[in-house]
Each structure stands twice: as C-alpha cells, then as structure tokens.
Structure 1
C-alpha cells in the first residue's frame, strides 16, 4: 500500500517566515521514509468548515515547484486542480514544467472545482455545475493532446487552441498520470472511466468507497475501459497517530477493495507529524496490498 501525505494546512507554524523551511523539512522526512506522494490543495482561501477562510494558504503549483527541489522520490501533485482556475493549455504546460524539473514525478490531479467564495473573491468566473463538467472534459482532452505527438488545433465548445505545442515534453511516459478527484457517480466517475489513470475518492468508510468503485466499474464496462488499469486512491479522514492499529485496519479494508494508495493529512506540527508517521505508520503499511 502506497501512502501519500496531503498537506492541507499552512497555519502551523504561525510565523510566515517559517512556512518554507517547515514545508521543506516535512517533505524531506516523508520522502526519505518512503511516503509515495505529496499533495497540496488547489485553493487560495482556506476551506470553510476546515478552518476560517482567512487562514494562510499557498498557491499550489508554486508550492509543488518548491517541493520538487526539496525531494527526490515522491510523486507531486495537487489534490486536486480546480478546472476553473487555469486555461487548459497553460495547465498542461505547468504540469509539464513540474514533471521536467522534478525528474518525472508530476501527477495531474484535477476536479470540477467548487469553492465559490474564493472564485467570486478573486474574480474567477462562476459557471453552472454542468458547464464546469463540460470544461473539465475538454481540459482532459486538451491535456492529453498537449502530451501527444499531435501539435494541431483543438476546437471545443468552451476552449479553442490553434496549436497544442508543448516543448519540452514531459519526462513521464506516456504523460504525467491523470487523477480525477471526487465521487460524483453520474459525471465524475464517468470521466474517470473515459480519461483518467487514477481516481481519488473520499474515505468516509469502506462501504462508501466500495459503492463508488462499483459505480466506476459499471462506467468502465459501458465505456469499454479496463477497470483494473485505473489506480484507486482514497483520502482517509481518520487521523493515523491517535490509534495506529485502527488506521491500519481501515487501510486493510480499502486494500481489499483494490485501493493501492491512501492519503493522510497532518495534524499538529507537520514536522513532528511526519516524524511519527515515518516511525509508526509507514512500516505498518508495507505488507498491505
């Protein structure tokens, strides 16, 4: 079982001058311990419900570029890119840049976006949900074309590109893995079946995850896609350190469903969390799967 660290909170330490060294040290500890992936959010205001919108938040791709220089092994990505925040051609170029500079360690995590407060606050167009999913599908098509030998035009309903030139090409082959985040059964999981190399669903319970994966399997059957070639990942909401045995038991339940990567979120001071994760959790997951 692969373990990912999802770094969602930049409030600790409180001194902004300590953010960079704390982030780098946390990532290095995780990288050296064998944590497989490191992700941050694609938000500009902190998510309400998790904390107040005024809590510190760093732009995601800039953060990943910083982490590319601080780490050597981990996959780097956003969990997940909001489709409304970047033009698709520029997004493909951004992820390509991350992949080249990290030595082929980028992953494109993407979703339909949802946080209207930050969108309205920062002047990002707010469009109906149906249109967001249309734009998501076109973005996936554009990224795949940008990462192919086809440098020609793309003509969609929402996006028109006269050239899909992307030089240098990504180091990842055939391209940086595409992970679609979310558990929407009618649209999100359908797009996973059509375009994605991986899915990410919310780990509220093994029963809920099993239900989502059953839906994905049906979409794959309808689309003629091999369900088994899609990597299944889960963001686990249970904190791992208070009860490591319970966390490991839950991960085993996900593994039995075919999940091969779980992500966990730091609590408390991130450096101390990473140290404890490396010592108490990572070794326990090595024999799962």
Structure 2
C-alpha cells in the first residue's frame, strides 16, 4: 500500500505571512519521506468538519502549482474538484498545465460538488443534484478526450465545445489518471466504472459494500474491476509521540485486504516536520510491505 498526504487545513502557527514558506517545507518533507502523492481540498472556505469557514483556505490549483515546485516525486491532485467550480475545458487545461510543469505528476480528482454554502457565498453555480451529476459525466467525457488528444467538437446537454485543443499535451502516460471521489452507489460508482482510473472512498463500516457495488457496475459495463485503483480517505493520528503507529499499520493491513492500494491521509499539525521522520522510518516502509 502507498500513502498520500492530504493537506486539509492551513491554519498553522505564524499565519498567512509564513504560510507559503511553511507549506513549501511541508511539501518537501513529505516528498522526501516517501509519500506517493500529495493532495489538497478544492474548497475556497474551510469545511465544517475541520473548522469554521473563516479559517485559512487556499485555492487548489494555485496551491498544486506551488507544490509542484517544492517536490520532485509525489503525484499531485485535489480530493476532489467540484465539477461546477470550473468549466471542464478550463479544468482539463489546468490539470494538463500542472502535469507538464511537474514532469508528469498530475492527477485529476473530481466529484459532483456538495458545498452549497460556499458556492452561494462566492457566486459559484450550484445547480440541483441531478444536474450536477449530469455535468459531472459530461466533464469526465471532455477531460478524457482532452487528455487523450481528441480535438473533436463536443456537444452535450450542458457543455458545448468547438475544438478540444490541449497544447502542450500531458506528459503522463497513457493519460492523466482520473480519480472520482464519493461513494454514491447509483451514479458516482457507475461513473468510476465507466470513466475512472481510481475511486476514493471513506473508510467507514460500509466500505466493503461500496467496493462490491463498484464491482457490479464494472461487470455491467464490461470494465475490469482490477484495473481501477482503490483509494481511501484516512486519518493519520500518530498520537503524541508516535505511539499509535502499530494501530495504523494494523488498520492499513485491513484496508489492503479489502483491495485498497492507496490511503490518502490527513495529518494533525501537518506543519510539524518531526512527524515525517516517523513516516519515513516506520509507516511508509510498513505500508509498502502490505
């Protein structure tokens, strides 16, 4: 199993004046420790499960470009981009730009969006659920075409593009991987089977059932279930002095047994660089052996 660092909070000591410098140090430390990927949320306000909306939040793709300049190996992505936040042609271009400038390390993480309060506050579109999923499917089709170099005009219900030119093309081969976030059984997991290279699920008690649903969708559309990367959101609670490392390894072993190969994990006080030695020396080698 491989580990990813998911940076979901930027409310760090010294505040905004040192935020860029500290984030660069965090990215470099995570990259050097051996994290296989680094992700950020695609939100403009902090989300309620982490803190009040007034807490510091950075725009995702600007941040990923910054992270690209401070890392050498880790893949870079959002968990996950809300489809209605950007027109799909622009989104594909942004992710392709990230891929080219990072040397082929970009992934597209995408979902149907959920934060209505944030959208209304900043004037972003937030159509009803059914329309968001329609837009998600069209955006997936458009992004795949642009990543593959197909310039054919696209005519959908919500999006109409005259020429899907994407120059320079991505460096990633065979294409920039598309990760679809969410566990919705009727639409989201069906889209994973039809369009996704990876899924991202919450590791709750129903996670095995979600994988079984995905497997059924793959069978229905003729997709090889084994070729889809299974990733899980996780919380790396190391304890005060790293005393919970053994528990985390046991939990990762359980998830690996279900078929997950990547754990995207949040880390309390991600700015505390001493924690990355625990990952480098203990957690990452143990996870890779699972």
TM-score by length of 1: 0.96
2:278 maps to which of 276, 279, 282:
276
Decide which moves more: 263-272 or 123-132.
Answer: 263-272
Two-structure CA RMSD over aligned residues (Å) = 1.2
Counterparts of 1:87 and 1:114, CA distance in 2:
17
Partner of 1:8: 8
Decide which moves more: 99-108 or 18-27.
Answer: 18-27
Counterparts of 1:165 and 1:238, CA distance in 2:
41
> Offset of 1:238 from its aligned partner?
5.5
Partner of 1:160: 160
1:96-117 superposed Cα distances (whole Å, 9 cap, x missing partner): 0000000000000000000011
2:7–2:270: 8 Å Cα contact kept in structure 1? no
1:33–1:278: 8 Å Cα contact kept in structure 2? yes
* Mapping of residues 1-289 of structure 1, within 5 Å: 1-205=1-205, 208-237=206-235, 239-241=237-239, 242-270=243-271, 271-288=273-290
2:235–2:267: 8 Å Cα contact kept in structure 1? no
> Offset of 1:196 from its aligned partner?
0.3
Q: Secondary structure at the match of 1:251?
A: helix
Q: Secondary structure at the match of 1:23?
A: helix
Counterparts of 2:63 and 2:270, CA distance in 1:
18
1:179–1:196: 8 Å Cα contact kept in structure 2? yes
- 1:272–1:52 CA distance, 2 compared to 1 (3 A): farther
Q: Which stretches in structure 2 are left out of the alignment for 5+ residues?
A: none
Counterparts of 1:102 and 1:17, CA distance in 2:
26
1:181–1:200: 8 Å Cα contact kept in structure 2? yes
TM-score by length of 2: 0.96
Q: How many residues align?
A: 286
> Offset of 1:269 from its aligned partner?
4.7
Q: Secondary structure at the match of 1:274?
A: helix
Counterparts of 2:60 and 2:39, CA distance in 1:
9
Q: Secondary structure at the match of 2:53?
A: coil
Q: Which stretches in structure 1 are left out of the alignment for 5+ residues?
A: none
Counterparts of 2:102 and 2:9, CA distance in 1:
23
1:38-93 superposed Cα distances (whole Å, 9 cap, x missing partner): 00000000001320000000000000000101000000000001101000000000
